[in-house]
Amino acid sequence: MSMKIAILGLLQEKDMHPYEITLIMKERMYDQMMKLQMGSLYYAVDKLAQEEYIEAVETIRSNDRPDKTIYRITGKGKALFEQLILQQIKKVELVFHPLYMALALSRYIDQDKVEKVLEERIREIEHQVNYAYQVYEEHISVVPRSALHLMYGRYEHSLTELKWLKRLYADVTARKLNDFGTPLSL
């Protein structure tokens, strides 16, 4: 879904070939917010082309590079784009990473080991938090506000996660994960 939205969005700026789309997505750090896999991108492009949301404009042949097929968005494609965006905003999805599941079930295994990897993980997230904030600051005068929101959101979410992990870590070291009846210390 995000893949289709990204493709249709970028093709509204200019006609492109799939590989070029990936380059721009990386440039704008879309790859930080969604899974960008070449296979899926080409699949989505084919799908969109089949149903005429986009169409091939020309194919550039070259003897030392693979052919490039340049696509353009159609009127039908623009309509789909709007529909997908609105639909995506409406739809309430529960997004929770696998990490949360893993930690919920970690009480079945050796707590010393959990403690150790959790420490490493916390250190990593601390870096992520700092990095995300830095990215935000550095882009203030460089990108439109829509992109700024994205960057600041990234920062806030990692901060939330960090706080959560630290609280959990305190309970792991105290071997309290299996305790009952007391509220968390917040």
Partner DNA sequence: CTTATTATATTCAAATTTGAATAGGGTGGC
Partner DNA sequence: GCCACCCTATTCAAATTTGAATATAATAAG
- 93 contributes a contact to DNA by CB under 7 A: no
Choosing from 33, 49, 70, 135, the residue that interacts with a second copy (CB under 8 A) is 33
**Binder of a second copy out of 24, 49, 70, 147 (CB under 8 A):** 147
Which does residue 64 bind out of DNA, a second copy, none, counting CB within 5 to 8 angstroms by kind? DNA
User: With binding defined as CB under 7 A, does residue 37 bind DNA?
Assistant: yes
Neighbouring residues of 153: CB distance < 8 A, sequence distance ≥ 6:
none
In angstroms, the first-to-last Cα distance of the chain is: 37
Total residues contacting a second copy by CB under 8 A comes to 79
CA distance 104 to 77: 43
Radius of gyration of the chain (CA): 22
Given candidates 52, 58, 124, 138, which one binds a second copy under the rule CB under 8 A?
124
Q: Which of 60, 113, 138, 173 binds a second copy (CB under 8 A)?
A: 113
Q: Comparing C-alpha atoms, which of 74, 68, 75, 61 is closest to residue 42? A: 68
Q: Does 154 bind DNA (CB under 7 A)?
A: no
Secondary element (H or E) of residue 69: strand 68-73
